[in-house]
């Protein structure tokens, strides 16, 4: 026992001696070694293989060195610290955590980890339970504990620098390392070994390394200022804008289908029956084509962004989500604002939470009058993975159409086809899949096919419902991206994982033709077919999308709209954020009824309650049971006269969409139902019917 303790002490002395020697003599070798090892670990994680990581090092030595130098640049700041090894440990762990995050995301969504993903933590927390099982949570917690324990050990056991730090010399050393780093990167770009612009994000990460690409996504955001950006250029791009006479103003409905595509386009699998027969029949009968979308496997809002704004996401930073960056801060041209110029009421509908991807903020900045999300819907049917079934959207779309007397524009976002797709489970799959050797993969495809088959039936029901209405209507349907099933280009008839399909249904004759287009050109195609030219970007795409310099001109307009001087509009942004209304109907409380059996049970009666309705008493949330859309139940034994009741619509304590005015409880008035309350922060968009009622009251 004593011998073991003695040996342990001797080993500890050796470790301390090593650190001292490293500090004094071999510090630069240590930094280089750590940078190389951390980079190698990250690339092994990214490729899911030790050998593939080694092969990457051998096959792309210059790129590997550049990535390692970037890590070295971040490590170099610890030259100014007395607890140098502690600083090195923290920075190394952070890089490895980023590498692990990239590995996990690649396994679920195909798209690699970018800096913008760190802004999506709130959205990620909302869906983590749909992707991670109990073992995964335990593993994450265990790794976090291990990292903390390791850092504590380094803090306690590893000595500080035992000599006076020469700050001038070390700052010069840091500067030299950073100069070498920037020089190596610029040389790599000049020699085409690296690229400042990314096309396919997954391919770029694989070719140029995680560290370089992630760092690029951190510093390269927004739209770069074009070299020829000027008042003269902007005027030349808008010189031929002209208004045209609009003969028909139909209802316009966009239906963005989550992870939906015609899976019959896959060449390596077969099905017991056609999963999407109705969608295929629509594509044969109505104008349709391939839609080039900016993402694959995930990132729904980036397809939304392109369709709604007409802007090309390729002009933004790699992996950027404008919904989480610039559009939270400013308004810009959108299809909603464009259609408002023709008298349209504008609605957004999504059978998921309103705050997911900050839509509750962004949709106001994009000109929507109302936003119906799951918090305002009574949905009681979900997929095994917890996503709402899409057939509920039919009634929501009809309700939006009925809510106004003028024409309606509705942007509807589906969710049923969302991943993850389980590798196992006791499901009675309605359609079986053949052609895959891996049973786990087969189960994933069969689950996915099951969901899109139900989505196909929802599409049929929606079209049948719209067909019975006596209103001219256009319904544009398309998939936002391919599912996160690891589909490769060789497995597709069209050979492109960045393509889904779109189809334009209408109940009247239109001028649309079949063509393959970009997602950011879909708005101009629909509006162009109706002679609607409102909106500079919309008009520009209608007139110039086939020009050789179309992309350059579009980038100028994008930059001016979001980051420039608003030269388009004489220096002032003309778009004012809407006072968006959450849900088409008001939530109201009419009466409060306590039980007289001593149980403390209290019933709250009113209108338009949902599972997301929460009772607050004296501004404190009370555990609430949803009974039906007119009844909520709480247990509150301390009820007394003067207590203030409100009902909040919320998906978390920090995300309240709307609330009722307070209603004061008075026991003597129990037999007198109180009038409905209004929701002060919600404004109902003015309609012909509203204006008429208002005039009659006056």
Sorting pLDDT into bands at 50, 70 and 90, what band is 691? very low
Of the pLDDT bands very low, low, confident and very high (cuts 50, 70, 90), residue 9 is low
Q: DSSP assignment, residue 505?
A: E
Sequence-separated (6 or more) residues with CB below 8 Å from residue 103: 45, 46, 48
Q: CA nearest 264: which of 275, 272, 255, 253?
A: 275
First to last CA, the chain: 96
Confidence of residue 137 (pLDDT cuts 50, 70, 90): low
Widest Cα–Cα separation across the chain: 99
207 pLDDT higher than 60: yes
CA angle 274, 481, 437 (to 5 degrees): 55
The conformation of residue 640, written as its DSSP 8-state character, comes to -
Statement: residue 124 has pLDDT above 70:
no
pLDDT tens digits for 345-375? Answer: 999 999 999 988 889 999 999 999 999 999 9
CA 275, CA 261: separation in Å to the nearest integer?
Answer: 10
- Give the contacts of 272 (CB within 8 A, at least 6 positions apart): 431, 432, 433, 434
Of residues 535, 515, 510, the one with CA closest to residue 524: 535
Local structure of 121: helix, strand or coil: helix
Percent of the chain at pLDDT > 90 equals 64
Nearest to 664 by CA among 607, 571, 592: 592
How many C-beta atoms surround the C-beta of residue 589 within 10 A? 25
Which pLDDT does position 12 carry in this prediction? Answer: 59
Contacts of 67 by beta carbon, 8 Å cutoff, 6+ apart: 39, 43, 209, 210, 211, 212
| Full strand arrangement of the beta sheet holding 624-628 | 588-594, 601-607, 631-635, 624-628
Between the CA of residue 380 and those of 390, 452, 543, 572, what are the distances in Å?
A: 11, 19, 46, 46
Asked whether 466 and 475 are in contact (CB, 8 A), the reply is: yes
Cross-strand pairs, 620: 617
Residue 30 is encoded by which pair of tokens?
């240590």
Q: What is the mean pLDDT of residues 612-618?
A: 94
Taking a C-beta distance cutoff of 8 angstroms, is the pair 68, 53 a contact? no
> Which tokens belong to 82?
């007395």
Q: Is residue 222 classed exposed, middle or buried when 0-12, 13-18 and 19+ CB atoms within 10 A define those classes?
A: middle
pLDDT band, residue 162 (cuts 50/70/90)? low
**pLDDT class of 217 with cuts at 50, 70, 90:** confident
Please, are residues 685 and 345 in contact by the beta-carbon 8 Å criterion? yes
**Does an H or E element contain 211, and which?**
helix 210-219
Domain boundaries, the chain: 2-219, 231-569, 587-669
Q: Which residues pair with 647 in a beta bridge?
A: 615
**Tokens matching residue 462:** 């929606």
Of residues 18 and 110, the one with the higher pLDDT is 110
> Which of 32-36, 83-87, 368-372, 590-594 is the least confident region?
83-87
CA–CA gap between residue 161 and residue 168 (Å, rounded): 16
φ and ψ of 514, to 5 deg: -65, 135
Say if residue 611's pLDDT is above 90. Answer: yes
Spatial contact of 44 and 64, defined as CB atoms under 8 Å apart: no
Q: Is the pLDDT of residue 682 over 70?
A: no
Q: Could you give the 3-state DSSP secondary structure of residue 289? A: strand
- 269-312 pLDDT, tens digit each: 999 999 999 999 999 999 999 999 998 887 889 999 999 999 99
Q: Is 645 helix (H, G, I), strand (E, B) or coil?
A: strand
Which residues neighbour 590 within 8 Å (Cβ) at sequence distance 6 or greater? Answer: 605, 606, 607, 673, 674, 675, 676
Q: Which CATH architecture has domain 587-669?
A: Sandwich (2.60)
Higher pLDDT, 504 or 78: 504
Taking the CB of residue 498, how many other CB atoms lie within 10 A of it?
Answer: 18
Q: Return the minimum-mean-pLDDT range out of 61-70, 125-134, 644-653.
A: 125-134
The b-or-e profile of 616-644 (16+ CB within 10 A means b, else e) is: bbeeeebebebeeeeebebebeeeeeebe
Question: What is the structure's pLDDT at 2?
Answer: 61
Rg (C-alpha) for the chain, rounded Å, is 29
Exposure pattern of 89-106 as b/e (b: 16+ CB <10 Å)?
bbbbbebbebbbbbbbbb
How do strand 663-664 and strand 644-652 relate by DSSP bridges?
antiparallel
Residues in the chain, total: 698
- The CA-atom distances, in angstroms, between 613 and each of 399, 628, 694 are 20, 11, 30
Average pLDDT over residues 370-396: 95
Helix, strand or coil for residue 589? strand
Mean pLDDT taken over the chain: 86
CA 368 to chain centre: 18
According to CATH, the superfamily of the domain at 231-569 is Alkaline Phosphatase, subunit A (3.40.720.10)
Q: What is the pTM of this model?
A: 0.81
- Cβ(484)–Cβ(419) under 8 Å? yes
Q: Please give the Cα distance from 621 to 406 (Å, whole number).
A: 39
26 Cβ neighbours under 8 A, 6+ residues apart: none
Beta-bridge partner residues of 251:
473
Concatenating the DSSP letter of every residue in 31-81 gives HHHHHHHHHHHHHHHHHT-HHHHHHHHHH-HHHHHHHHHHHHHHHGGGGG-
Instruction: Please give the residue that has the higher pLDDT: either 274 or 671.
Output: 274
Residues 416-474 have pLDDT tens digits of 999 889 988 889 999 999 999 899 999 999 999 999 999 999 999 999 999 999 999 99
Signed CA dihedral, 110, 114, 118, 123: sign only = negative
Alpha helix (H) ranges present in 415-468?
439-467
Q: Is 232 helix (H, G, I), strand (E, B) or coil?
A: helix
CA–CA distance, 604 with 631 (Å, rounded to integer)? 6
Higher-pLDDT residue of 651 and 520 is 520
Q: How far apart are CA 139 and CA 150, in angstroms?
A: 16
Q: Which of 255-269, 293-307, 398-412, 502-516 has the lowest mean pLDDT?
A: 293-307
CA distance 182 to 596: 76
């Amino acid at each position: 026992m004593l011998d073991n303790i003695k040996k342990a002490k001797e080993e500890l002395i050796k470790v301390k001696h090593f650190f001292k020697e490293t500090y004094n003599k071999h510090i630069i070798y240590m930094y280089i070694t750590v940078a190389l090892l951390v980079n190698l670990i990250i690339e092994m994680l990214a490729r899911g293989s030790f050998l593939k990581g080694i092969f990457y090092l051998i096959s792309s030595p210059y790129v590997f060195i550049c990535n390692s130098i970037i890590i070295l640049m971040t490590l170099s700041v610890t030259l100014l610290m007395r607890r140098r090894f502690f600083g090195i440990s923290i920075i190394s762990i952070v890089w490895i955590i980023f590498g692990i995050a990239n590995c996990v995301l690649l396994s679920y969504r195909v798209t690699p980890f970018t800096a913008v993903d760190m802004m999506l933590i709130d959205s990620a927390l909302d869906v983590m339970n749909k992707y991670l099982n109990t073992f995964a949570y335990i593993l994450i917690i265990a790794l976090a504990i291990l990292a903390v324990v390791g850092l504590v050990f380094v803090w306690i056991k590893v000595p500080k620098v035992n000599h006076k730090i020469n700050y001038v010399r070390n700052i010069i050393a840091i500067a030299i390392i950073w100069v070498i780093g920037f020089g190596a990167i610029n040389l790599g770009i000049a020699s085409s070994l690296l690229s400042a612009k990314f096309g396919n994000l997954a391919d770029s990460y694989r070719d140029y390394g995680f560290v370089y690409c992630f760092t690029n996504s951190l510093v390269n955001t927004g739209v770069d200022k074009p070299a020829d950006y000027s008042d003269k250029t902007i005027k030349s791009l808008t010189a031929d804008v002209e208004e045209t006479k609009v003969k028909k103003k139909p209802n316009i409905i966009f239906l963005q289908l989550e992870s939906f595509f015609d899976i019959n386009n896959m060449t390596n699998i077969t099905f017991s029956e056609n999963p999407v027969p109705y969608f295929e029949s629509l594509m044969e009968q109505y104008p349709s084509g391939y839609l080039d979308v900016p993402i694959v496997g995930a990132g729904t809002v980036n397809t939304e962004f392109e369709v709604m704004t007409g802007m090309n996401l390729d002009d933004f930073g790699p992996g950027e989500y404008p919904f989480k960056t610039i559009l939270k801060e400013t308004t810009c041209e959108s299809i909603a604002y464009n259609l408002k110029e023709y008298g349209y009421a504008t609605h957004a509908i999504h059978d998921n939470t309103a705050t997911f991807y900050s839509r509750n903020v962004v949709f106001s900045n994009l000109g929507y009058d109302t936003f119906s999300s799951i918090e305002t819907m009574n949905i009681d049917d979900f997929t095994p993975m917890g996503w709402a079934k899409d057939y509920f959207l039919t009634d929501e779309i009809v309700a939006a159409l009925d809510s106004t007397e003028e024409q309606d524009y509705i942007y509807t976002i589906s969710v049923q086809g969302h991943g993850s797709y389980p590798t196992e489970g006791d499901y009675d799959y309605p359609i079986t899949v053949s052609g895959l050797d891996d049973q786990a993969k087969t189960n994933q495809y069969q689950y996915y096919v099951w969901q899109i088959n139900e989505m196909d039936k929802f599409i049929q029901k929606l079209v049948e419902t719209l067909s019975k209405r006596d209103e001219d209507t256009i319904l544009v349907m398309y998939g936002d991206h391919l599912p996160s099933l690891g589909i490769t280009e060789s497995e597709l008839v069209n050979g492109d994982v960045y393509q889904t399909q779109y189809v334009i249904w209408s109940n009247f004759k239109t001028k649309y033709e079949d063509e393959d287009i970009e997602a950011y050109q879909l708005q101009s195609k629909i509006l162009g077919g109706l002679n609607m030219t409102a909106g500079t970007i919309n008009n520009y795409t209608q007139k110039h999308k086939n020009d050789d310099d179309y992309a350059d001109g579009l980038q100028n307009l994008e930059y001016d709209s979001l980051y420039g001087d608003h030269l388009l509009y004489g220096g002032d942004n003309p778009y004012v954020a809407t006072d968006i209304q959450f849900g088409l109907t008001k939530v109201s409380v009419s009466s409060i009824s306590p039980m007289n059996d001593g149980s403390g049970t209290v019933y709250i009666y009113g209108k338009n309650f949902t599972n997301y309705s929460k009772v607050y008493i004296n501004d404190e949330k009370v555990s609430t049971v949803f009974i039906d859309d007119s009844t909520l139940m709480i247990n509150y034994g301390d009820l007394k006269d003067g207590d203030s009741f409100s009902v909040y619509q919320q998906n978390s304590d920090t995300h309240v969409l709307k609330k009722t005015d307070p209603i004061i409880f008075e026991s003597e008035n129990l037999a007198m139902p109180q009038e409905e309350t209004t929701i002060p922060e919600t404004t109902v968009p003015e309609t012909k019917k509203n204006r008429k009622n208002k005039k009659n009251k006056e």
